[in-house]
Amino acid sequence: MDEPTASEDVKPQQKAHIAFPGEKILQGIVAINVFMMMCIIFIDVFLRYVFNAPIPGSYEIIRFMMGIMIFSAIPLVTATQGHIVVELFDGAFKGRAGKIRDVCVGLVSFCSLGMVTYLMYVQAGQLARFNKITGYLELPLSPLAYFMSALAVVAMLAQLQLIWTRITDKGPAQ
């Protein structure tokens, strides 16, 4: 007897994907950022080990780029529902209960993103007030923190749209 293969048995869940203005821009920022980080790290390591002359301030540059990359990706991951999910109790929540669960989880995510946004904004204000700069390149830190806070707002808006989509959806729980 032929048994079905694993790919025939398992059907991936359909997840909502919301499109939002600036999605392509954020995807471009993330892609360019990852590529540039890769190039800087490669060149820095090469110069460090071959010529004993690393790129000055490369550590600070990578730190800035990492913050930009992570906070640019958060709205994208939120919009595509690409977060890590533990589905221990999915079988227990079907139909209306599943929809209520999805909305509650979405609200918790929205509130969590709100807290991140608020804390990043407060931190950016403190960095600006005390004119904090990086140690080697003397780059100001507050613009990066404000940018990260703004991207967290974009993620909040994407999460809010997902919640609204789930509330108004007539289909079964996802």
Note the pLDDT tens digit of each residue in 7-48: 444 444 556 677 778 889 999 999 999 999 999 999 999 999
Between 95-99, 122-126, 168-172, the lowest mean confidence (pLDDT) is in: 168-172
- DSSP class per residue in the chain: -PPPPHHHH--PPP------TTHHHHHHHHHHHHHHHHHHHHHHHHHHHHSS-PPTTHHHHHHHHHHHHHHHHHHHHHHTT-S----SSGGG--THHHHHHHHHHHHHHHHHHHHHHHHHHHHHHHHHHTT-B-SSS--BSHHHHHHHHHHHHHHHHHHHHHHHHHHH--S---
d(CA 111, CA 98): 20
172 pLDDT higher than 70: no
Q: At residue 113, does pLDDT exceed 90? A: yes
Residue with tokens 């079964």: 172
The phi, psi pair for 133, rounded to 5°, reads -135, 165
What per-residue confidence (pLDDT) applies to 117? 98
More confident residue, 93 or 108: 108
Residue 10 has what pLDDT? 41
Q: What is the pLDDT of residue 173?
A: 53
User: What pLDDT sits at residue 73?
Assistant: 96
Q: Label residue 137 by pLDDT band (50, 70, 90).
A: very high
